[in-house]
Amino acid sequence: MIATDLRGAVERLGDMIAEASVIVPFTGAGISTESGIPDFRSPGGLWSRNQPIPFEAFVARQDARDEAWRRRFAMQSTFGAARPSRGHRALASLYRAGKIPAVVTQNIDNLHQASGFAEHDVVELHGNTTYARCIGCGKRHELEWVKACWERTHHAPCCTSCDEPVKTATISFGQAMPEQQMHRAGDLAQSCDLFLAIGSSLVVWPAAGFPVLAKKCGAKLVIINNEPTDQDHLADLVIRYDIGEILGPFVGN
């Protein structure tokens, strides 16, 4: 069913939330556009400006690593200033109320944690861009350290422990998905009775498989996205309105 008016959509969603015992949200870049972080595929989104750098190129070439870090630092004022949107805050309210056990996200911006989710209840499928890791030994490095090295040498640095390249703690195209998070997301999708896909074009796989899995396992599926997705036909409710307008009424104390 496609919601035809905003008020009706909020009411219908409210009923489904009230009826559900376990709600699992699955979020994409669209929940963070209100926070000032552009998504990938909208006009003016990140992909219209830069093609992503595949993992293989990052590993193989210093110039690819330099470019990846140049782009990351260019985005720092945006990521640094971002605060949770109404969508993030509504989900955090439902989490505090015990309706949501954890959030599954494709986002890398740390805004679910900033909105009040405990770190271990944010299942990050594509990692986190607010810190870095060595791709060899996995040691965590802070962005301030990377920036200081960058400013001194004009190159992306290598790890202080093992001398392998240091990369934002994100999953790039061509890089293996994080096993533990994939597993946990699968468990959550299979054990909820309401699955909310919010602000995702649902074209990035394997992440886009989770709404399908939840539906197959008996959950009701709601898709909130301002443009159609390939999975709309599977959903019990499709809401093509602004996420902040739809989820704003669910922001609690």
Which residues are at the interface with ligand NAD (CB under 6 A)? 28-30, 32-34, 37, 39-42, 45-46, 106-109, 126, 199-201, 204, 225-227, 242-243
The smaller minimum CB distance to ligand NAD, of residues 191 and 226, is found at 226
Closest CA to 229 of 217, 238, 237: 238
The smaller minimum CB distance to ligand NAD, of residues 108 and 135, is found at 108
Residue 192 assigned as binding residue? no
Q: How far apart are CA 4 and CA 160, in angstroms?
A: 56
The smaller minimum CB distance to ligand NAD, of residues 104 and 243, is found at 243
The overall longest dimension of the chain from CA atoms, in Å, is 57
- Residues in contact with 232: Cβ distance below 8 Å, sequence separation at least 6, in sequence order: 2, 223, 238
Catalytic status, residue 126: yes
Q: How far apart are CA 184 and CA 43, in angstroms?
A: 33
Residue 149 assigned as binding residue? no
The smaller minimum CB distance to ligand NAD, of residues 19 and 119, is found at 119
The nearest distance, CB 152 to ligand NAD, in angstroms, is 29
- Annotated catalytic residue, options 112, 126, 141, 155: 126
The nearest distance, CB 28 to ligand NAD, in angstroms, is 3
Q: What is the DSSP string of 206-217?
A: TTTHHHHHHHHT
Helix (H, G, I), strand (E, B) or coil at 118: coil
Residue nearest to ligand NAD (CB): 30
The nearest distance, CB 150 to ligand NAD, in angstroms, is 22
Q: How far apart are CA 210 and CA 125, in angstroms?
A: 11
The nearest distance, CB 215 to ligand NAD, in angstroms, is 17
C-alpha 89 chain-centroid distance? 15
Q: How far apart are CA 138 and CA 189, in angstroms?
A: 28
Residue 207: how many CA atoms within 13 Å on its side-chain side?
27
Residue 6: how many CA atoms within 13 Å on its side-chain side?
10
- Cite the active site residues: 126
Q: Which residues are annotated as a binding site?
A: 134, 137, 159, 162
Q: Which residues are annotated as a binding site for Zn(2+)?
A: 134, 137, 159, 162
